[in-house]
Amino acid sequence: MDELNLALPYLTAHLPGVGGRLRAEADHFVVEEIALYEACGEGQHLYVNLTKSGLTTREVQLRLERLFGLARGAVGFAGLKDKFARTTQTFSLNVGYQSAAFIDEAVRRIESELPVRVNWAQFHRNKLRPGHLLANRFEITVTDLAVTLDEAVVRSQAIVAEIRRRGLPNFFGVQRFGQKGANAHQGLELLLRRRSIRDRWLRRFLISSYQSHLCNCYLVRRLEIGAFDHLLAGDVAKKVATGGMFDVEEVEREQPRYVAQEINFTAPIYGSRMWQAKAEAGALEQQILASSPVTLMHFEEARIEGSRRVGRLLVPDLAVETSEGKLIARFTLPKGAYATVVMRELMKVDDDHFSIVNEEDENLE
């Protein structure tokens, strides 16, 4: 079996963490979905925003389908949310065109049959699909701190200041790769045609896990060569405000925009049709791929097109406070980013500690 090094460095390795543990109880990991758009008030899909705990997103989806007698897949959602957490998200129910009175009746039925709280419900024209969200807002409580509360404040505030100034490598979280990297290993085996899987969703999920590993390898290498805080010639950059992407031809011209957090470099999600970087950044991408057992031809044979992922995660609203002997972190992340990537910098504990947090990628449906 090909050995995969899944270890990740810390951006703030020079700053000690606070230790502790996550999720002593569900209310210690709070997630709120931030919508990409609002329900317009008309249409055949009833958008229901609810708060749940102790249920996975898929469990709620299936129970809503049964409750309203809907066909499989008639209930949509924008992102997968954890079971052992307090999460707020929106579901869409294809109930057909109904009167306004249907909304109140639907809310009553949901709250009477499911252990959830409905925050609002409204009609819209289209089904919610994976990725139809802007971001997620987090409130995460750390218990059993390894230091005194006063020391935890000093340490965490120093780390917060560094992260707000520099951002973070947009790593895929350790939970993305399965127990001891099993998901990534299986993805590699599929690409090398050492095994086959008929289930198309599972096949795609496992291969994407290996793609995520290669992306992490690229981000680790940028940190190692001191190329996280500045652009490289040939980078594929992305504008923060608009999402537009472009090739960096003159580093001196674009670097001030990078420092001002107006643009970010992007990292490769390797595939046959990926927008490839050029010059120095392109050479680095090729170096990472060359160090793996796969080539772009393997991705082409597997019909994996690839994409690009923002390489620097900006967390301008990251803040911490203490309450009753606990540390509470609050921040907002764009879709596809992992809250545990932020928390591991603050805590500095073994990465296995974060494998219990199920932050699944919304784009893998």
Q: How far is it, in rounded angstroms, from Cα 142 to Cα 320?
A: 10
Which CATH superfamily includes the segment(s) 37-130?
TruD, catalytic domain (3.30.2350.20)
Query: Domain boundaries in the chain?
Result: 37-130, 168-313
Within 13 Å and on the Cβ side, how many CA atoms surround 364? 17
Predicted local distance difference test score (pLDDT) of residue 201: 87
Question: In the predicted model, what is the mean pLDDT of the chain?
Answer: 94
Q: How confident is the model at residue 198 (pLDDT cuts 50, 70, 90)?
A: very high
Q: Is the model's pLDDT at 248 over the cut of 60?
A: yes
Q: Is the model's pLDDT at 29 over the cut of 70?
A: yes
Q: How confident is the model at residue 360 (pLDDT cuts 50, 70, 90)?
A: low
Which residue numbers are catalytic? 82
Lowest mean pLDDT among 82-86, 94-98, 139-143: 82-86
Predicted local distance difference test score (pLDDT) of residue 24: 67
Q: Is the model's pLDDT at 57 over the cut of 50?
A: yes
Predicted local distance difference test score (pLDDT) of residue 357: 62
275, 245 Cβ separation under 8 angstroms? yes
* Amino acid at position 51, single letter: T
Q: 148: which residues sit within 8 A by CB, 6+ positions away?
A: none
Third-level CATH fold of 168-313:
Pseudouridine synthase (3.30.2340)
Mean of the pLDDT values across residues 269-290? 97
Q: What is the pLDDT of residues 59-89, one digit of tens each?
A: 999 999 999 999 999 999 999 888 889 999 9
Mean of the pLDDT values across residues 24-30? 85
Mean of the pLDDT values across residues 152-157? 97
Q: Give the global pTM.
A: 0.91
Q: How many other β-carbons are positioned within 10 Å of the β-carbon of residue 196?
A: 8
Q: Is the model's pLDDT at 139 over the cut of 70?
A: yes
Q: Is the model's pLDDT at 364 over the cut of 90?
A: no
Does 22 or 266 have the greater pLDDT score? 266
Mean of the pLDDT values across residues 273-293? 97
Structure tokens at 3: 């050995």
Q: Is the model's pLDDT at 348 over the cut of 50?
A: yes
